[in-house]
Amino acid sequence: MIDELKFETLIGVMGSVFEGEQDTRASNKQYSLSDLGLAAFSVFYMQSPSFLAWQREMESRKGQSNVQSLLGTERIPSDEQIKNVLDGYHPDSLGVVYRYVINSLAAAGQLRSFSCQGRILIALDGRQYHHSKKISCSQCSCIEREDSVHYQHSVVLPVLVSPHCSEVLCLEPEFVLPQDGHDKQDCETAAAKRWLTTKLANYDVDKPVILGDDLYCHQPMCEQVLAAKANFVFVCKPKSHPHLYEYLDLTPLEHHEIFLEDQVKLSYRFANGLPLRDSSDALFVNWCDITITDKQGKQIYYNSFATDILLTSETVIDVCSYGRARWKVENEGNNTLKTKGYHFEHNFGHGEHYLSALLVSLMLLAFLFHTLFDLFDNLYQAIRQRLATRKTFFDDLRALTRYHCFDSWHRLLSFMAHGLELDFDSS
């Protein structure tokens, strides 16, 4: 593991971000902003809503706790103190941490496992993380229905994906929030455009390709991607693109087929230069589809895509593999956040301003850190491999840190490796 991405270094970067924020409290500053932010982060990192309570109890018995020794905090704030103070801080302040991680990986040449033909794939997907008929705040989106008003929070989650890697790496999210100077309610596509405009350029990635579902496959979004000096591969369905498909019916399609060792057939069709919409200023895009059939001839997959990448019998294979990789934002990203201990849709604290969004961003950073170690930390990998399941790993983390205080994250992992009798040099 490179020094820039060791746990203590990452915690230091996050702590400095909070310390760099303007402290708006008029009084009661016994807890630093760094203590408050890192304490909130620890709950998600350990996947334990009771983690701070256990550590306060440990401190009362032993005079020390894992919040202090692992995260470098001075004191352990209460849940209410954390929520009351952090409510006023915009989640964009944490963008520095995401960029530090990804750009450090890029500088160390560690993004090669996510590179496809020299390109980095970034999948965008919108997700709701709060919904209520009663609880709301100034940052909620309001959905009026016949019998009631529904309040919700949503976010666009950009992640690095690859056809060759099961993990995904979270990038800085873009929250659907009311925008100053705009009367129209914010939405997923508007948030995605903001991310492309203001945040994509902050990442040192080569030839980014933006992936998205059919919602993203419209001209303003495609133009925004091109303006950001990126390529796009978006799902393109007939129902939402009737004009393009009318042209497609009149266009001779090129065909290409390949067979895999198990007699699975991949059939490609493609055409270049089709109008994306029915207008004189229509953007011309390239279209392709892929049909996968098993050895009995039964269709097991189909999808179609629009892209700005010129399609040939060689590039259509790559483009379809990019498009198919998009599902990883849902299966490996959203599904992990919702069902693997992070409790993405749980209301950890709504607040009146930014609390809900800030806590989600801390949750995403916890997910990013664990993914980072799972990919690049040999000791962490060895432990995860021996314990087999994610649940067992986090159960052990919670148990160990409840009863014993470790002086570093490395010492905690070394203790686990020794207990598992792993043949591993943890020095």
- Express the helix, strand and coil content of the chain in percent, nearest 5 each: 45, 20, 35
Query: What is d(CA 358, CA 78) in angstroms, rounded to the nearest whole number?
Result: 17
The predicted structure's pLDDT at residue 135? 80
The contacts of residue 133 (CB under 8 Å, 6+ apart) are: 148, 149, 150, 151
Give the model's pLDDT for residue 311: 98
Tens-level pLDDT at each residue, the chain (427 residues): 889 999 999 999 999 999 999 898 877 788 999 999 999 999 999 999 999 999 999 999 999 999 999 999 999 999 999 999 999 999 999 999 999 999 999 999 999 888 888 899 999 999 988 878 888 787 888 888 778 888 888 999 999 999 988 899 999 999 998 776 556 788 999 999 999 999 999 999 988 999 999 999 999 999 999 999 999 999 999 999 999 999 999 999 999 999 998 889 999 999 999 999 999 999 999 999 999 999 999 999 999 999 999 999 999 999 999 999 999 888 787 788 888 888 888 778 888 889 999 999 999 999 999 999 999 999 999 999 999 899 999 999 999 999 999 999 999 999 999 999 998 665 5
At residue 85, the pLDDT reads: 94
Output phi, psi for 353, to 5 deg: -130, -95
The answer to whether 354 and 91 are in contact (CB under 8 A) is yes
Domain range annotation of the chain: 3-86+377-419
The three-state (H, E, C) secondary structure of 6-19, written as one string: CHHHHHHHHHHHHH
Residue whose token pair is 């980014």: 208
**Which pLDDT belongs to residue 183?**
62
Of 344, 365, 368, 292, which is closest to residue 323 (Cα–Cα)? Answer: 292
pLDDT for res 426: 52
